Amino acid sequence: MAGVQDRVIVITGAGNGLGREYALTLAASGAKVVVNDLGGSRDGTGAGSAAADAVVQEITPAGGAAVANYDSVATADGGKAIVQTALDAFGRIDGVIANAGILHDKAFHKMSFEDWDSVLQVHLYGAFNTIHAAWPHLREQQHGRIVVATSTSGIFGNFGQSNYGAAKSGMIGLINTLAIEGRKANVFANAVAPMAATRMTQDAAPPEVLAALGPEHVAPVVGHLCSDELTESGSVLVVGGGRVYRVAQFQTKGVTFAEVPSIEEVGRRWNEISDVDGAVLGINPVG
């Protein structure tokens, strides 16, 4: 199996937590990694080189190949600089793991525009900026792997995370389209919703729950999604604590109206429209 041997993978937000685990796992499996981290706190404030440098220093003494990058994913120039780091250091790029993220959790009625915008800039726009910079190289070489970090908050929702949930749901929409557009070029795009104990989730669950959710459980799945053996594209996987499962949209049998219905008629048949009995995997009607 070729796996990820000699593949060049950019990992954003790789100075701590899950990103760090992805970098260590991929490097140990023979990949060459770009460890990107702005070095800020979990709310996005601050910056520094120590976090990314520390991960590189864990990898290179063991014979692995890694370089650090400290650019922000939140700007187009930052995304380009991250990808350029891979090209300058290793001469190519084979994949992007869009993992960088921040939190500004608040109930929706208390959320400011800055709370909303800053989270979307890092998560959703950050994924776009980095992947968009890499995309021409992946298409030209007819090989690429994209993994984005979504969340169960983006799939199912979560109180106080309308900004985070919207960003993470948007990343699913992004990989759904990239899976279609990248298919002919052997560029695969998938999403992982990690359930892991990191500084982003340190107050999200009791300590005894978090103790069973080490980031090391997630990294092998992400590694497979970066491998040459991957055959899956456009999938959303929830991963944590040893469990891995796919989440997908479904469609009900629904109702077909012979003529334009009245509001009342729609109401009368609403149970039929929403009844999930016999539901099937959703299919894009225009795809």
On whether both 198 and 210 belong to a single domain, the answer is yes
CA 71, CA 145: separation in Å to the nearest integer? 21
Instruction: State pLDDT tens for residues 123-177.
Output: 999 999 999 999 999 999 999 999 999 999 999 999 999 999 999 999 999 999 9
Range 193-226 burial, b when 16+ CB lie within 10 A, else e: bbbbbbebbeebeeeeebeebbbebbbebbbbbb
185 near 177, Cβ under 8 Å? no
Task: Give the least confident one: 63-67, 95-99, 168-172, 212-216.
Answer: 212-216
pLDDT confidence band for 204 (50 / 70 / 90): low
pLDDT at 45 over 80: no
Count the neighbouring beta carbons within 10 Å of the beta carbon of residue 142: 10
Tokens found for residue 243: 């469990």
Q: Are residues 221 and 257 in the same domain?
A: no
Do 284 and 172 lie in a common domain?
no
Model pTM above 0.85: yes
Residues 47, 108, single domain; the answer is yes
- Are residues 169 and 278 part of one domain? no
Same domain membership, residue 85 and residue 57: yes
pLDDT value for 40: 74
Residue 86 located in a structural domain = yes
Same domain, 281 and 149: no
Exposure on the CB side of residue 216, measured as CA atoms within 13 A: 4
Task: Indicate the range of 21-30, 73-82, 129-138, 198-207 predicted with least confidence.
Answer: 198-207
In a domain, 3, yes or no: no
* CA dist list (Å): 278 to 156, 228, 251, 282: 21, 36, 9, 12
Nearest to 34 by CA among 77, 88, 75, 74: 88
In a domain, 104, yes or no: yes
Does the annotation count 164 as an active-site position?
Answer: yes
Q: What's CA 269's distance to the chain center, in Å? A: 38
**Stretch among 77-86, 190-199, 218-227 having the lowest mean pLDDT:** 190-199
Q: Check whether residue 276 and residue 164 sit in a common domain.
A: no
User: Can you tell me whether residue 285 is helix, strand or coil?
Assistant: coil
Beta strand spans in the chain (E): 8-11, 32-36, 65-69, 95-98, 144-149, 187-194, 236-240, 243-247, 250-251, 280-281
Of the listed 22, 125, 164, 245, which one is catalytic? 164
Q: What is the pLDDT of residue 26?
A: 98
Confidence of residue 244 (pLDDT cuts 50, 70, 90): very high
For the residues 255-274, what does the mean pLDDT come to? 97
34 and 174 within one domain: yes
Domain interval for residue 16: 8-248
- Count of domains observed in the chain: 2
Are 241 and 266 members of one domain?
no
For strand 280-281 and strand 250-251, is the pairing parallel, antiparallel, or unpaired?
Answer: antiparallel
Residues 190 and 59 in one domain: yes
For the chain, the average pLDDT equals 92
Residues 58 and 195 occupy one common structural domain: yes
CATH code of 222's domain: 3.40.50.720
CB burial of residue 47 (10 Å; 0-12, 13-18, 19+): middle
Q: Measure the CA–CA gap between 146 and 225, rounded to whole angstroms.
A: 8
Q: Is residue 1 part of a domain?
A: no
Average pLDDT over residues 207-230: 83
